[in-house]
Structure 1
């Protein structure tokens, strides 16, 4: 409840505020409520008096529109935003895109980044093909027809990272983690024909390759940042994982897992990139280029194809310091060159020619500042998920069905 001084009873001021009586003696002076309000104002008291303990009456809609962010945005700098992000503050940065944010000098951030992906159905170019068509029309790496066709695959990845701000224009981060992959397969009887023999599944798991990155800010103003990304992918993951599958002869066979089921690459990659971030008011946006370029074939005789990724996104700051974002992501990857002689057989994913292509994905995300939900220090949570809206693959190969990624970080 709110009331003004105009609603109070008249005030009586003694002493210096007294007026002279007709006989010259000083007496009390009674002033009106309007004069009282002026007198209160003249000594620095507010004109609006709030009753202690009474909540202000506001609608849920006005609370949304009157919400004030505690971060730095545009022309309204807040110290906390400058302290954490060195000037740019709360901007949309996709959970599945490391290296988009930078910290102010001297800070350290610990990160946990789980991600999950599902693949289903097989495609050649931009068309879906049936397992029976693959088994009767496409060759395996051995030269005979494909007899084992995958019909689904799931992958779970758990990445851990640490980032250190050397200064305001250079951040360094290191990431690695653990991955599990599982594939379902259909086996066809004999070496020809479309008669299904049975189903089988295989899994691989282990530690990933290690990523080392340098993020260099080369331009900034109040509304814009540009970052260069320089990095290396180092071969700490296994390339010798094995699976057991049903053979066309009706027996279980254990063999080296296909290329896409291996946890590591066995290669060193350069991972250059570029990031642009912008903001005005509650709106923020960004664009990024990422690449993964192989230096040479690994010790098994093959190299993954070069990979290129371009993203654009936009976000809006909601009440509670949450950013809702939408991202368009385009990925293209070259075929595998060379082959591993131990990845051999009549399975579709054992042919190195059946890798690579291009995808266009649409992803939505939510970015939450930890302090807004009562977490101590500077913590951060982001999640993003989506699926492809277009795929054109060097098939036959499994098509991507969906993906979801999260990022949890704590800054010190």
Structure 2
């Protein structure tokens, strides 16, 4: 039923935007200004923003992004937690009454491969696939929590979910652009990843990894959003709302990730046509996981669906570089690093230390 509602809504939006496109022929009056911006480093948002721009009819763009995220230390709400603090939390799964395995660090690498094509000036289509590599370090304690038994690392890697998005022009003039983001995420990532763990009984066994270590959501997800951007001779600015909303109540393992909503705003300055720098603020809110996977039942915080989601605010600083002549014309290289300003987590959870994204884009 939710998929049917989503498809009907997308159809209505498409019909509306066709009329909007016909009514916005005035946009052609600013075509020369738009083309001029197209060949500036500042014509794109920071590399960490997805679906930020459209293309001219018949134009393609290929992209690759590498994103690395480091997480360390635990938090509940806005309070930092020690390992001893985490061991006092109740274990909702079979086994000891309290948690006995504590995550201390997590790293995640994401390789994102994208393609964009514009069949018309008012519509750009985008597809993105992702290869992920995750690892998480843990400490295991004995049943009474009086002694550390050892440390271990779990790892999961493989293809994640795949997304398909349409970027539909709503308004455009020589200074301002506004478009609709309407997409869907297809559950191509595994949600049955396993690895060897050290148990509180001082034995090693292979178990299904917690939700954070899986490679996909297991559900079809709607990816709605809206993006605004503006520019003058040297300055650029923009904002984007985006969301990830499951279209199914649960996946085939019995759970669904909580709704995720993000708002991002950025500003940048063009030092020369080939280089610009940017600053970006991103606020995110995500709900807890609904339901549970009966195979994820270890005495560790990441095995509890309640310990997911929360609120976050991040600051990103970036640089965009553009090739303007010869074989490099139209090729972009960009970098952005993000750090947390605020965290209010449904804990206990590992908290993000920093995130870095580097990307390459080529339009033709």
- TM above 0.5, yes or no, is yes
1:127, CA displacement in angstroms?
Answer: 0.6
Please list the CA deviations of residues 88-116 of structure 1 after superposition, one character each: whole Å capped at 9, or x if unmatched.
98335021111101111101111111111
Distance 1:340 1:212, change over 3 A: same
Structure-2 separation of matches of 1:111 and 1:92: 13
Structure 1 unaligned segments of length 5 or more: list them: 1-76
2:191 paired residue number: 239
TM-score normalised to structure 2 length: 0.88
Establish whether residue 317 from structure 1 lines up as the match of residue 270 from structure 2. yes
List aligned pairs for 1:89-104, cutoff 5 A. Answer: 90-104=42-56
Q: How many residues align?
A: 333
Question: Contact conserved, 1:92 with 1:286, CA < 8 A, in 2?
Answer: no
List aligned pairs for 1:11-410, cutoff 5 A. Answer: 82=35, 85=38, 90-142=42-94, 144-190=97-143, 192-296=144-248, 297-319=250-272, 321-371=274-324, 375-410=327-362
Question: Contact conserved, 1:120 with 1:398, CA < 8 A, in 2?
Answer: yes
Question: Contact conserved, 2:41 with 2:273, CA < 8 A, in 1?
Answer: no
The residue matched to 1:82 in structure 2 has which SS?
A: helix
Question: Contact conserved, 1:81 with 1:89, CA < 8 A, in 2?
Answer: no
TM-score normalised to structure 1 length: 0.78
1:265, CA displacement in angstroms?
Answer: 1.1
Distance 1:218 1:206, change over 3 A: same
1:83, CA displacement in angstroms?
Answer: 7.1
1:71 paired residue number: none
Please list the CA deviations of residues 129-166 of structure 1 after superposition, one character each: whole Å capped at 9, or x if unmatched.
11111112333433721111100000001011111011
1:361, CA displacement in angstroms?
Answer: 0.2
Question: Contact conserved, 1:82 with 1:89, CA < 8 A, in 2?
Answer: no
- Work out which structure has the larger RCO, using CA pairs closer than 8 Å and 6 or more positions apart in sequence: 2
Moved over 6 A (4+): none
Distance 1:332 1:237, change over 3 A: same
Structure-2 separation of matches of 1:222 and 1:176: 33
Please list the CA deviations of residues 61-106 of structure 1 after superposition, one character each: whole Å capped at 9, or x if unmatched.
xxxxxxxxxxxxxxxx895951784x99833502111110111110
Structure 2 unaligned segments of length 5 or more: list them: 1-29
Structure-1 separation of matches of 2:41 and 2:357: 22
Question: Contact conserved, 2:42 with 2:320, CA < 8 A, in 1?
Answer: no
Distance 1:79 1:169, change over 3 A: same
